[in-house]
Amino acid sequence: MEPDAELMLQVRAGDTVSFELLLARHRAPVIGYLSRMVRDQGVAEELAQEVFLRVYRARSGYEPSAKFTTWLYRIATRLALNSIRDRRHERNSQSIDEQSDERQAFQPVDDRANQEERMLAEVRLQTVREAISSLPEKQRAAVLMHKYEELDYQQIAEALDCSVAAVKSLLFRSYETLRGRLGAISRSRKKSGA
């Protein structure tokens, strides 16, 4: 049995220290996932609190039939999708990782070539983030769980409450869309000399 499932079984038995261990282990990745999903760090943190509150409330009925992370991301995904639907009218064009970028301290670099490489890498990263951010919610969730959280197809299917074939289809469409968008951006930059 996986360690997280064992901890959750101990939580089910009333061990609050085990819950604190699960919280410490999974809080940051869940907030990161939710932040990329809802594009708002504050909302992501509130949703993460709700995720772990639901995990704690569901402790008595927990059965380790799937990986703990699959169950955890199913809860997180449902809350994120509900939040997106509820806030659809409030949607803004804020970058999916803008808050974390703002927290990074500026570090001057002496080497111009090295600085240019970093700037190009940051532009590429921002372009990818924006492209992922523009995907429909379910596709975005599948990509984030697959690439950022490294969940396998079965885990993603369980988290999204769909079949493995549906996950493969979602990911295929997502990656095709991303290739198209990123290719178009790259071609337009080459034409403009950027």
Q: What is the pLDDT of residues 174-191, one digit of tens each?
A: 999 988 888 877 676 666
How far is 182 from 124, CA to CA, in rounded Å?
9
Where in the chain is CATH 1.10.10.10? Answer: 108-194
Q: pTM for this one?
A: 0.67
CA distances from 54 to 10, 75, 79, 102 (A): 16, 8, 10, 31
- So what's the pLDDT on residue 95? 43
Tell me where in the chain the CATH 1.10.1740.10 domain(s) lie. Answer: 1-90+98-104
CA distances from 108 to 114, 115, 188 (A): 11, 9, 30
Domain 108-194, what fold? Answer: Arc Repressor Mutant, subunit A (1.10.10)
Q: What CATH number labels 1-90+98-104?
A: 1.10.1740.10
Treating both helix axes as pointing N-terminal to C-terminal, what angle do 164-192 and 153-160 enclose, rounded to 10 degrees? 100
Closest CA to 36 of 75, 67, 76: 76
Q: Measured between alpha carbons, how far is 153 from 150 in angstroms, rounded to an integer?
A: 10
Q: What integer is the mean pLDDT of 20-45?
A: 94
pLDDT digits (tens, 9 = 90+) for 103-134: 444 444 445 556 777 777 787 788 888 888 88
Q: What is the pLDDT of residue 189?
A: 65
pLDDT of residue 113: 57
